[in-house]
Amino acid sequence: MRQKRAEEAEAAEAVKRAKAGSSAGSGGRGRRSRKRGAGKGEVRKERTKRDGGVEMAKERTFLMIKPEAVERGHVGEIIARFERCGFRLVALRMEKLSREKAEKQYEEHRGKDFFESLVSYICSAPVVLFVVEGENAISAARKMVGATDPKKAAKGTIRADFGIDVQRNAIHAADSPEKAEREIKIHFGELL
Ligand code: RTP
Ligand code: MG
């Protein structure tokens, strides 16, 4: 249990780095406050340096808890990880996907040798679809999810903790702003 917490803390650290010191939700807002004794000019400099001169964007990303993780009862813990990392849940639904929706979701893989098996697997039992919002949500979520193969995924990531094999790897996360927008539209339409 203690080991699990340590691994989770490691993943949370990676997420913090992905957010480059910026807060996703309400937590961490205070860190932008001025250091004791620092003049106004110094505060501006520190802020520019920490953000690397890049505007931190509030993003939404799409995630899907895959059938085996739903079946094995990991939904609550997976969603809690996003909330603990400061992301806000903005949409959530459990659904047994139609073949049409699953094919649309994984359109980019059409023609690959694992496509048929992937689509059948995704449609085999209910999945949990959800959208979270926060700063750098897309890349931070990918870091929390980990590598495609759970055996190669970093310690403390969702796939390392809950995945079984390359296909049954617990969760999907959109990998770019374009994909996030596309996938949110597929599953939540114009709701968001
Ligand atoms: P995802 O899209 O689900 O978040 O996963 P990913 O970006 O890490 O990996 P991707 O290459 O997009 O693959 C999509 C999903 O297809 C299954 N897969 N099976 N060699 C195989 O048998 C194989 N390769 C990929 C996995 O379920 C993977 O998550
Ligand atoms: Mg992918």
The structural domains of the chain, with segments of one domain joined by +, span 1-192
Tell me the CB-side half-sphere exposure of residue 181, using CA atoms within 13 A: 4
Q: What tokens does 171 get?
A: 């969760």
Ligand 1 centroid to Cα of residue 169, in Å, is 8
Q: Is 172 a catalytic residue?
A: yes
Give residue 57's pLDDT.
81
Q: How far apart are CA 190 and CA 161, in angstroms?
A: 33
Atom of ligand 1 nearest to the CA of 148: 8
Residue closest by Cα to atom 9 of ligand 1: 148
Atom number, ligand 1, closest to the C-alpha of residue 108: 12
What string of pLDDT tens digits covers the 192 residues of the chain? 555 555 556 666 656 655 443 444 433 333 333 333 333 333 222 333 345 556 678 999 999 999 999 999 999 999 999 999 999 999 999 999 999 999 999 999 999 999 999 999 999 999 999 999 999 999 999 999 999 999 999 999 999 999 999 999 999 999 999 999 999 999 999 666
For residue 93, list its beta bridge partners.
Answer: 129
Q: What is the pLDDT, as a whole number, of residue 38?
A: 36
- Residue 41 pLDDT: 32
- Contacts of range 174-180, beta carbons closer than 8 Å, 24 or more positions apart: 174/61, 174/62, 174/63, 174/138, 174/141, 175/138, 175/142, 176/138, 177/59, 177/138, 179/62, 180/59, 180/60, 180/61, 180/62, 180/137, 180/138
Residues with CB under 6 A from ligand 1: 109, 114, 118, 148, 166-167, 169, 172-173, 175
Q: From the CA of 135, how far away is ligand 1's center (Å)?
A: 25
Q: Which residue CA neighbors atom 27 of ligand 1 most closely?
A: 167
Question: How remote is the CA of residue 84 from the centroid of ligand 1, in Å?
Answer: 26
Residue 61 burial by Cβ neighbours in a 10 Å radius (0-12, 13-18, 19+): buried
From 74, 109, 172, 187, the catalytic residue: 172
Quick one: pLDDT at residue 60? 97
Q: Report CA(78)–ligand 1 centroid distance (Å).
A: 18
Residue range 1-192 in CATH 3.30.70.141 = yes
